[in-house]
Structure 1
Amino acid sequence: MSSFNRDVLVLILEELKNDKNSLFSCLLVNRTWCLIAVRILWRNPWQYFTIINSKIIMLFNVLFLHLSKESKDILKSQGIDNHITESHECPLFDYINFIKYLDFFFIRCMIPRKTKKTKISIVKSEIFKLFINNNTKFIHLSIPQNFYNQIHLIPGAEHCFSELESFHCNMDISQNILEWLVRCKSIKKLIIENMFFNYSVKCLEIIKLIEAQENLNDVKFINLSESYESFDKSLEKSLIKHAATIQYLRFDWTPITKFLLHFVNLSCLEIFLPGYSVWKDLNYFENISLPNLKILRTSRVRPIILTNLIENIKGNLTEISVLYDYHGDDSKMFIQAIYRKCPNLRYLRLSLLLFRNIELLISEYESLLSNSQYLNGLIIDIYTGYNTEFKWNEFFMILAKSSPISLFKFKFSSNKLIQLKDIKLFFDNWENRNSIILEISNKDYNVNIKAKQQLEDLIKKYKVKGIVDRYSIGFNTVYHENEFEWN
């Protein structure tokens, strides 16, 4: 295998780009394998770290080895004398040249904590020069909150970002950087976070940035804090210009116009309305079909609105995630629409606030499961009123009786602890099926150690029997993009 044609080997190892453990093993085969694997691993080294810890300090130490003698001399002349300026052997590879994803959250964190405040700008300048120069090119740029450095003025910036494909920023970004980026026309993926109306000038620059792109494919607006109709209309108008190429879209405001009517190639739609938002047009999706839509994720969108959309879709949906469904009679209609119109559904998440008609809703789950023959993962979040109880025992019996053979991944969350006898009932009736991968969440498990231990003891008994494969107990109901990709 070590004598593979190099081009073929590159294609094979590229398939492992999200499997770091396998790539680490490839480093040890021979120099050819090592060179290919190390390029893939260092393309986006930041993805392997979520918080600043000892491991990422090791990463920073490797990057510091690339500082030029000139930079080290500048730092020494300013009285900055620590491991940054120490002399070490050059690394085996030019790791900086391999990096294609530039994330300034991590770059900013590279400055040693012991650095005096008066010296931080000097250290920062030399670190920036390490990455931004005429020898490197990045395809992704991420700029975090409270970042005001004028990176576009650093020599080599024009070259570094000339082929930018992905851009992620917070709206308190420097306006000068936004104005400078408008000249970039190669961005395919755009993520904008925390848009406020008091950033009105920057909002206009965002619209210009959108309109300037030639092949925009993935657009996300996250945490739009104050929605103003005039801006929303302009934003929707700018998006329509890219309706033919955009396949992934997320927005956090109530639509002003019927702009979604134009997105015939949309594959993934995410609508996350803020708590104060009210979607008054209940028939918004009445004439909007979105024929290629496969993934639908929403929060605080009334099910009656979504029912119209699902009724018009041609059965291509494979994933539905609905959070904070304020339960009413239209929830039943919504579930009915799912099992009538979504025969290819693989993953489903329903987050329900229940105060009445609980029995009517439970009865719909049997039909849902019976008509979802490809369902693989199910997430159910139940939040009931003070005097209302969700009948988990009935729900679990339906689940054990009617689940398709493909279904074995479950996440259950509730504002009230699920009774052990109900969970035991579920396990007892789950025989001769695929072993369950299970997550049970409730905030009380963080403080009620006894209840958590009792649940864990119960699950372990059924793990020995082969009913349960893997499990997790805790409190984790926060939405994340890959919520169905659990092991």
Structure 2
Amino acid sequence: MELDEDVLFLIFEELQNDAKSLHSCLLVNRSWCVTAIPVLWRDPEKYFKTVNPKRIKKLSNVIFLHLSEESRNILNDQGIKNPIITGKYQQPAFNYISYWKYLNLIFLEDVITSNIDRFNKDAKNLILNLFINKNTNFIHLSIPQNLDYQLLHISGVESCISGLESFHCNDVTDPNVLIGLAGICNSIKKLIFDNWNHYSENSGIIKLIEVQKKLNNVNFIYRKSSERNESFNKILEKSLIKHVDTIQYLRMDWKPTTKILSYLDNLLSLEINIINFIKIDEVKHLENLSLPNLKILRTQRVPSKILVNLIENTIGNLYEINVYCDGTNNKRLIQAIYQNCPYLRYLRLSLITNFNILISELENLLNHCQLLNGLIIDLYDTDYAFGWDKLFEILNKSSPINLYKFKFSSYKIIKLEHLKLFYDNWKDRKSMLVKISNKDYPSRLEVKQKLKDLNEEYKEKGIIKEYFIGIDRNVCEDFDWT
């Protein structure tokens, strides 16, 4: 029995993150091939971004094959050399570019420049014309810092990007480009605004935010830890007032300066990253903040007292908490978590304190939060000898059945005998994912090797499924965490 194409499409949708399986589907028959190709080519970046240069060149060759003979001649006359450009090749059987829905001009430029010896403005525009035309319809657009080609002046651009649902730019993007986009796009749901300069005030992004009707996910990301432009941050916060009914996900990498958060009753996810520890007096307007529907809370250097109040004012839906805070009120913070978060699945505690005094409260947390799936303990405490053996004993004794993902990071190296006892007492449980980070591993290679050997031993026994050892304190990466 042959499957209906609509049914096939739904199946392939489920495989959209599995490039290997999708490629296999192309070989079954023409019906499968025709149905799988739009899914496979919707967002090529996710399949090619981390692969080897040879595959990247293959992708660029596919793009070149879509060029008309006239365009190839123009590029050839300009001295741009590539076998596809200079040779005689037929265009592909499918218009693969027409299936692209996620247009990342940064990635596209990287792909093209990987396979030709030069790439001037005229060449960029010829390639861009392949993507901006009546045959394409994008739902995501990401533009580079210096957009030196006339994106908004290409014929057909309005129909191509009028339905954008997500958009990514940065503070040095030409404000005129953003203002032009504001005249075309008003259905953006997800917005990512990177701030590199920290002092630039891009009026274009304010205009773009203002005209949106469905803004749901907003990310203001600061890439460097220098002093930030508070006056512009305040303008950005005020620009969100119009969208308080639709915004559910918010990231802001600065100390909130207005009461915007108090208006966002529908927030499901909140991320606040502050570069320096602040005093409670500096954020008095956050002291009684209530976000009852919150499910995800991620903060850096927000006072513990603020976090305690915020967690206590939720209605128990929080399932991910990722906090790095000072040494005050941490006992009360852990208590607030296990008293108010019965559905907690992922917890990162990154603290500057004598964590030994909090171990008993951590045991209470393990006993109360029975759905906990992943735990990160990230210690910045250099003055105390932390009792990892005691922590591991409690994890062996009280870990809920779902807990098997662990990440441990500290300034002092964890003793092998403590880890060995932890692993030995993990028998008859789900194989764990383990990440262990320490700043001294590069200079203490012998210690790192012994730790690797220990983890390999328990991986062979089935106690460990996968592990990572290194210096990376970005514990939100590696493994399947969230």
**TM-score scaled by length of structure 1:** 0.92
User: Which deviates further from its counterpart, 212-221 or 131-140?
Assistant: 131-140
| Equivalent residue number for residue 418 of structure 2 | 422
C-alpha contact 1:348 1:379 (8 A) present in aligned 2: yes
Task: Provide the secondary structure at the position in 2 that maps to 1:185.
Answer: coil
* 1:64 Cα deviation from its structure 2 partner: 0.9
Confirm or deny that 1:379 pairs with 2:376.
Answer: yes
C-alpha contact 2:81 2:116 (8 A) present in aligned 1: no
Confirm or deny that 1:244 pairs with 2:245.
Answer: yes
Distance 1:155 1:277 in 2: 51
Confirm or deny that 1:35 pairs with 2:15.
Answer: no
Confirm or deny that 1:398 pairs with 2:403.
Answer: no
| Equivalent residue number for residue 220 of structure 1 | 219
Q: 1:101-130, CA deviations, whole angstroms, 9 ceiling, x for partnerless residues?
A: 11111222244468676x622222211222
C-alpha contact 1:270 1:297 (8 A) present in aligned 2: yes
Equivalences for 1:62-461 in 2 at 5 Å? 62-83=62-83, 84-112=85-113, 120-183=120-183, 184-194=185-195, 196=197, 198-200=199-201, 202=202, 204-223=203-222, 226-275=227-276, 280-281=281-282, 283-323=284-324, 325-328=325-328, 330-354=329-353, 357-385=354-382, 387-461=383-457
Distance 1:384 1:138, change over 3 A: same
Distance 2:280 2:160 in 1: 43
Distance 1:457 1:232, change over 3 A: closer
What is the aligned length?
477
Q: 1:370-428, CA deviations, whole angstroms, 9 ceiling, x for partnerless residues?
A: 1110001111111222x422111111111111111111111111222111011012112
Confirm or deny that 1:485 pairs with 2:453.
Answer: no
C-alpha contact 2:241 2:260 (8 A) present in aligned 1: yes
Distance 2:282 2:75 in 1: 61
Task: Provide the secondary structure at the position in 1 that maps to 2:173.
Answer: coil
Query: For residue 36 of structure 2, what is the amino acid of its counterpart?
Result: A
Task: Provide the secondary structure at the position in 2 that maps to 1:443.
Answer: coil
* 1:279 Cα deviation from its structure 2 partner: 5.9
* 1:474 Cα deviation from its structure 2 partner: 2.1
C-alpha contact 2:57 2:114 (8 A) present in aligned 1: no
Confirm or deny that 1:464 pairs with 2:460.
Answer: yes
Distance 1:151 1:207 in 2: 20
* 1:23 Cα deviation from its structure 2 partner: 1.8
| Equivalent residue number for residue 15 of structure 1 | 14
* 1:450 Cα deviation from its structure 2 partner: 1.9
* 1:174 Cα deviation from its structure 2 partner: 1.5
Distance 1:341 1:483, change over 3 A: farther
Task: Provide the secondary structure at the position in 2 that maps to 1:380.
Answer: strand
* 1:447 Cα deviation from its structure 2 partner: 4.3
Confirm or deny that 1:475 pairs with 2:471.
Answer: yes
Distance 1:107 1:446, change over 3 A: same
The CA RMSD measured in Å over matched residues stands at: 2.3
Distance 1:464 1:81 in 2: 51
Query: For residue 252 of structure 1, what is the amino acid of its counterpart?
Result: D
Distance 1:217 1:114 in 2: 38
Unaligned segments of structure 2, at least 5 residues? none
Confirm or deny that 1:50 pairs with 2:49.
Answer: yes
Distance 1:228 1:5, change over 3 A: same
Query: For residue 417 of structure 2, what is the amino acid of its counterpart?
Result: K
Distance 1:30 1:129 in 2: 32
* 1:197 Cα deviation from its structure 2 partner: 5.5
Distance 1:312 1:283, change over 3 A: farther
Query: For residue 406 of structure 1, what is the amino acid of its counterpart?
Result: N
User: Which deviates further from its counterpart, 24-33 or 185-194?
Assistant: 24-33
Distance 2:447 2:249 in 1: 42
Task: Provide the secondary structure at the position in 1 that maps to 2:302.
Answer: coil
Distance 2:182 2:412 in 1: 50
C-alpha contact 1:349 1:380 (8 A) present in aligned 2: yes
* 1:463 Cα deviation from its structure 2 partner: 2.6
* 1:347 Cα deviation from its structure 2 partner: 0.5
Distance 1:113 1:49, change over 3 A: closer
Distance 1:432 1:114 in 2: 52
* 1:60 Cα deviation from its structure 2 partner: 0.8
* 1:69 Cα deviation from its structure 2 partner: 1.3
Query: For residue 45 of structure 1, what is the amino acid of its counterpart?
Result: P
Confirm or deny that 1:4 pairs with 2:6.
Answer: no
Q: 1:428-477, CA deviations, whole angstroms, 9 ceiling, x for partnerless residues?
A: 22233222121212233344332222112222332333322222222332
User: Which deviates further from its counterpart, 49-58 or 215-224?
Assistant: 49-58
Q: 1:116-150, CA deviations, whole angstroms, 9 ceiling, x for partnerless residues?
A: 76x62222221122212232121110012333433
Distance 1:116 1:440 in 2: 43
Unaligned segments of structure 1, at least 5 residues? none
C-alpha contact 1:320 1:347 (8 A) present in aligned 2: yes
* 1:313 Cα deviation from its structure 2 partner: 0.6
Query: For residue 34 of structure 1, what is the amino acid of its counterpart?
Result: C
User: Which deviates further from its counterpart, 67-76 or 281-290?
Assistant: 281-290
Distance 1:180 1:291, change over 3 A: same
Distance 1:295 1:53 in 2: 37
